[in-house]
Amino acid sequence: MGNTNNWMDNWLDSQQKYWNAWADMAQRGMKAPEAPKSPMQEGLNQWWNAVSSMAPPVGREVFDRLMDVSKGYFSMAERFMAGNQADPQGGLEAINGWLDGMQKMWTDWSQSGANFRPDAFFPMGQMKGLTTFWDLPMDTWNRLAANVVPMPGDFTQAFHPEGAQPMRDQMNKFLSIPAVGYTREAQEQYQVLAQKQMDYLAAMQAYQAAFGKLGVETTQAFQKSLQVRAQEGKPITSLRELYDQWVEMSEQAYADFVMTVEYQTLYGRLVNTLLALKQQMARMVDQTLEAMHMPTHAEISTLQCRQQELRRDNLKLHKEIKGLQAQIEALRKAVLQPEQADEAAEEAPKAAVKKAAPAKRATPAAKAK
Amino acid sequence: MLPFDMRPDAVMQELTNYGQKLSHGMKNLMEVGEISTGVTPKTVVYREDKLTLYRFQNPNKDAITSKVPLLIVYALVNRPYMTDIQENRSTVKALMDAGQDVYLVDWGYPDRADRYLTLDDYINGYLDRCVDVICERHRVPKINILGICQGGTFSLCYSALHPDKVKNLVTMVTPVDFQTPDNMLSHWVQQVDADLVVDTLGNVPGEMLNWTFLNLKPYQLMGQKYLGLLDTLDDPEALKNFLRMEKWIFDSPDQAGEAFRQFIKDFYQQNKLLKGGLEIGEPVSLKNISMPVLNVFAEQDHLVPPDASRAMRGKLGTKDYTELSFPGGHIGIYVSGKAQKTVPPAIGKWLDERS
């Protein structure tokens, strides 16, 4: 804990110095020197790397997420501040520069048909942290895909834009070779697998391209909203306000887009192609297991299905037996009640003993039924 | 006027404060301890497979004024402790305070052996046996049911199939029309091949549903929410509450494959509960719902839009139909302070008038 406090103090101290230096430059009207890396983000990273191992499991993920968001937030702040120093328009130039950069990235990306790799468009760490803001829907998909297919992250991220088309061409050539010979079936399975991969890759790229377009629209909507605020005399007065405005505009643009038929088709195709790929993988794994005389997934699935059917039948029979027992009990009572009533009148103390007898007489009635 | 009015020193102060909050929050995180959920004492009255039927213990027996026990039927998605998440935010406790004798079905965490559980198994099997257990314990022919979200849809189906066992039905944030124009989830799944999903995955992973739900509002739920956390990090109790909610959000059981397949196809894709043609063991008709119904929904619900619940109106067989609209969201209807004060007491009063 003492160690943690030291790290916290050091980090806060360095942070304070950093901002003091910024303030000093701002007061003197100096332009801040270009830094290839973001000092705030780096500081944050160092601090979190040092203390995160001491964080309890409870809440660790929450803080991880908070750190990711913080990096993006600090990056936004630094971009804003970097242009704000000598900007007579109070940061407008900086924001516009930032948003123009974002628009260029989205446009280039959506036109390239490549996967989203901001570093391909913004080298030198220029966009570091910012994608935490812009990439949230894709980030959630990547997590989902990683959960479904046993590959680290979304494996399509490994396909570089410049290599995507040649790879597709090569794959198509490979897939056009007819499977022949002793291993024909195995070859066909691999060809099907490759085709499923290609299908998923194409679906993924179409999905991402649509998000590139959405990125451009979101950026424009954000810029427009800033203009509206200026016209209405409601300027943004804090970074947090700026961030909240961005969230509002992003969420609105996103909500409009994901309710279109275009998105419905893209999403359906993305999910279906991913699962078709996974299904083919499972099929091939099963073939290998079968060759090794091990139980396959399909066999276990069949057993599970039959077991459930048996359980269902069993429960149904239980219920029927219970119902029949209740009927027998009701019949028994109906048959015996008059006797009991008579006996009770004659010999009240023996009533308890007499009660047991009818059970024997009730049995034939149940059998006859 | 310019769109910004931010002085550099003010921005720097804002960032410095940010760092301070972060570091103080870290200290609080170190000391946060165990995160408790499901706070009201309860006893197990029935178990079957992964299912557990609980009865909540009311320390004051005289406080139970209702003669008819109330069974809460939660969704298969997420965990039912949302209804009893903490001492001062417990729908269960508030219902008990309103004089109800409360039971709860906990569906548990299905595993691969449960992959072939169908909606028939859940509704006419598990749920029906839970109702029987309660009826036997209390020696009553009928009980009251409170269904929540998907559990509400299940309760509607159950009530339609077994109207002789349900005295009164309360539905909370329950979809009936699965294809209202503002239903984002429904819009997304229309072209998803549910057969392929289930045939490939078997059970549907809870994480898959989690990320889908987060994608309904990704910028708020994966970004802004955490930034908002900063403002409460210095308050250990508020941090604990936040972590408690996070625990619940990401505590998602896998979905039994066959039940998921039928739910997506029959409800989301074909909207059979509303349009007709639904079969769960037997044909399900909302017209069979002859008991009194209270339909509670949230006006700002992004998961189950209010219109999806309101669609119940005029479709049921009962003449005793009441709506209760709450000005909040899908989760707020259980945990917000306002909901605690208004919703459970209103449910209790409505039930008492009919029990």
Rg, Å, chain B Cα set: 22
For residue B185, the chain A residue with the least C-alpha distance is A259
Q: Could you give the angle at the alpha carbon of B98 between the alpha carbons of B94 and B99, nearest 5°?
A: 125
Are residues A248 and A205 part of one domain?
A: yes
Are residues A192 and A126 part of one domain?
A: yes
Distance from CA of A336 to the nearest CA of B (A): 24
pLDDT value at position A142?
Answer: 76
CB contact under 8 A, A72 and B223: yes
Residue B140 near chain A (CB below 8 Å): no
Question: What three-state secondary structure class fits A294?
Answer: coil
Q: Is residue A156 part of a domain?
A: no
DSSP category for residue B294: E
Question: What three-state secondary structure class fits A55?
Answer: coil
Q: Which domain holds residue A49?
A: 1-28+36-86
Give the CATH number of domain B42-352; options: 3.30.1180.20, 3.40.50.10810, 3.40.50.1820, 3.30.200.20: 3.40.50.1820
Q: Which residues contact A281 (CB under 8 A, 6 or more apart)?
A: A149, A150, A193
Are residues A82 and A188 part of one domain?
A: no
CB contact under 8 A, B4 and A251: no
Mutate to test the interface with B, among A304, A307, A309, A317 (most CBs of B within 10 A): A304
Cβ proximity of A212 and A107 under 8 Å: yes
Return the structure tokens found at B10.
């003010």
Place of tokens 């297919």: A149
C-alpha to C-alpha distance for A248 and A239, rounded to whole angstroms: 14
Say how many C-beta atoms besides its own lie within 10 A of residue B354's C-beta.
15
Say how many C-beta atoms besides its own lie within 10 A of residue B49's C-beta.
15
Phi, psi (deg, nearest 5) at residue A236: -80, 130
Distance from CA of A129 to the nearest CA of B (A): 12
C-alpha to C-alpha distance for A138 and A328, rounded to whole angstroms: 64
Residue B300 Cα to chain centre, angstroms? 15
Are residues A266 and A353 part of one domain?
A: no
Amino acid A135 reads D
CB contact under 8 A, A40 and B15: yes
Q: Is residue A155 part of a domain?
A: no
Residues from chain A contacting residue B8 (CB–CB below 8 Å): 22-23, 26, 81, 84-85
Residues from chain A contacting residue B200 (CB–CB below 8 Å): 275-276, 278-279, 282
Per-residue pLDDT of chain B (355 residues; tens, 9 = 90+): 677 787 777 888 888 888 888 888 888 887 888 888 889 999 999 999 999 999 999 888 888 889 999 999 999 999 999 999 998 899 999 999 999 999 999 999 999 999 999 999 999 999 999 999 999 999 999 999 999 999 999 999 999 999 999 999 999 999 999 999 999 999 999 999 999 999 999 999 999 999 899 999 998 998 899 988 888 888 888 888 999 999 999 999 999 999 999 999 999 999 999 999 999 999 999 999 999 999 999 999 999 999 999 999 999 999 999 999 999 999 999 889 999 999 999 999 999 999 8
- Of A63-77, A102-116, A170-184, B28-42, where does mean pLDDT reach its minimum? A102-116
Does the active-site annotation cover B149? yes
Residues β-bridged to residue B103? B55, B71
Q: Which of A263, A294, A325 corresponds to the end of one domain?
A: A294
Place of tokens 């943004």: A236
Range 92-131 of B in CB contact (< 8 A) with A: 112-113, 115-117, 121, 125
Instruction: Choose from A17-21, A49-53, B236-240, B314-318 the range with maximum mean pLDDT.
Output: B314-318
DSSP category for residue B254: P
Amino acid B339 reads A
CA dihedral angle for residue A271, residue A274, residue A277, residue A282, rounded to 10 degrees = -80
Residue A266 Cα to chain centre, angstroms? 17
What are the start-end ranges of the H helices in chain A?
2-27, 39-51, 60-84, 92-112, 118-121, 131-134, 136-148, 161-176, 184-231, 239-258, 261-291, 297-346, 351-356, 358-368
Are residues A243 and A176 part of one domain?
A: yes
pLDDT value at position A356?
Answer: 39
Instruction: Kindly list the domain boundaries of chain B, sorted by start residue.
Output: 42-352
* pLDDT tens digits along A225-235: 988 988 898 88
Assign A35 a pLDDT band (cuts: 50, 70, 90). Answer: very low
Cβ proximity of B324 and B353 under 8 Å: no
Residues from chain A contacting residue B211 (CB–CB below 8 Å): 140-141, 143-144, 147
Assign A355 a pLDDT band (cuts: 50, 70, 90). Answer: very low
List the end-to-end C-alpha distance of chain A, in Å, as a whole number.
Answer: 78
Residues from chain B contacting residue A258 (CB–CB below 8 Å): 184, 187-188
**C-alpha distance from residue B339 to each of A272, A355, B51, B324, B347 (Å):** 40, 56, 28, 12, 11
Place of tokens 């806060």: A12
Nearest one of A60, A300, A31 to B202, comparing CA atoms: A300
Are residues A234 and A202 part of one domain?
A: yes
How many CA atoms within 13 Å lie on the side-chain side of A18? 23
DSSP category for residue A350: G
Are residues A176 and A96 part of one domain?
A: yes
Assign A2 a pLDDT band (cuts: 50, 70, 90). Answer: very low
Phi-psi region of B149 (alpha: psi -120 to 50; beta: other; left: phi over 0): left
Are residues A229 and A104 part of one domain?
A: yes
Spot the catalytic one: B130, B135, B149, B157: B149
Residues from chain B contacting residue A72 (CB–CB below 8 Å): 223
CB contact under 8 A, B23 and A1: no
C-alpha to C-alpha distance for B350 and B70, rounded to whole angstroms: 12
Cβ proximity of B23 and A10 under 8 Å: no
C-alpha to C-alpha distance for B94 and B101, rounded to whole angstroms: 11
Q: Is residue A143 part of a domain?
A: no
List the end-to-end C-alpha distance of chain B, in Å, as a whole number.
Answer: 64
Are residues A213 and A311 part of one domain?
A: no
Cβ proximity of A11 and B16 under 8 Å: no
pLDDT value at position A21?
Answer: 59
Place of tokens 């109906």: A334
The shortest CB-CB distance from A251 to any of B199, B214, B219 is to B219
For residue B211, the chain A residue with the least C-alpha distance is A140
A340 has a pLDDT exceeding 70? no
C-alpha to C-alpha distance for B161 and B177, rounded to whole angstroms: 19
pTM more than 0.95: no
Residue B211 near chain A (CB below 8 Å): yes
Q: Is residue A10 part of a domain?
A: yes
pLDDT value at position A1?
Answer: 44
3-state SS, A135-165, equals CHHHHHHHHHHHHHCCCCCCHHHHCCHHHHH
Distance from CA of B196 to the nearest CA of A (A): 7
- Of A165-179, A242-256, A336-350, B70-84, where does mean pLDDT reach its minimum? A336-350
Residues from chain A contacting residue B191 (CB–CB below 8 Å): 264-265, 267-269, 272
Q: Is residue A154 part of a domain?
A: no
Nearest one of B283, B288, B289, B308 to B297, comparing CA atoms: B308
Range 13-32 of B in CB contact (< 8 A) with A: 14-16, 18-20, 22-23, 25-27, 29-30, 32
* pLDDT tens digits along A285-302: 999 999 999 999 999 999
Task: State mean pLDDT over A102-107.
Answer: 69
Q: Is residue A343 part of a domain?
A: yes
Q: What is the ipTM of this complex?
A: 0.91
Are residues A250 and A177 part of one domain?
A: yes
Are residues A348 and A206 part of one domain?
A: no
DSSP notation for B80-136: GGGGEEETTEEHHHHHHHTT--EEEEE-----GGGTT--HHIIIIIIIHHHHHHHHH
* pLDDT tens digits along A137-174: 777 777 777 766 665 554 555 555 455 666 667 777 77
Residues β-bridged to residue B86? B89
DSSP category for residue B52: E
Assign A15 a pLDDT band (cuts: 50, 70, 90). Answer: low
C-alpha to C-alpha distance for A228 and A234, rounded to whole angstroms: 9
Q: Is residue A153 part of a domain?
A: no
A241 has a pLDDT exceeding 80? yes
pLDDT value at position A369?
Answer: 36
A127 has a pLDDT exceeding 50? no
Residue B139 Cα to chain centre, angstroms? 29
**Mean per-residue pLDDT over chain A, rounded:** 73
Assign A37 a pLDDT band (cuts: 50, 70, 90). Answer: low
Domain count, chain A: 3
CB contact under 8 A, A140 and B250: no
Residue B11 near chain A (CB below 8 Å): yes
Are residues A62 and A183 part of one domain?
A: no
Distance from CA of B253 to the nearest CA of A (A): 14
The shortest CB-CB distance from A238 to any of B14, B212, B239 is to B14
pLDDT value at position A34?
Answer: 46
Q: How many residues does chain B have?
A: 355
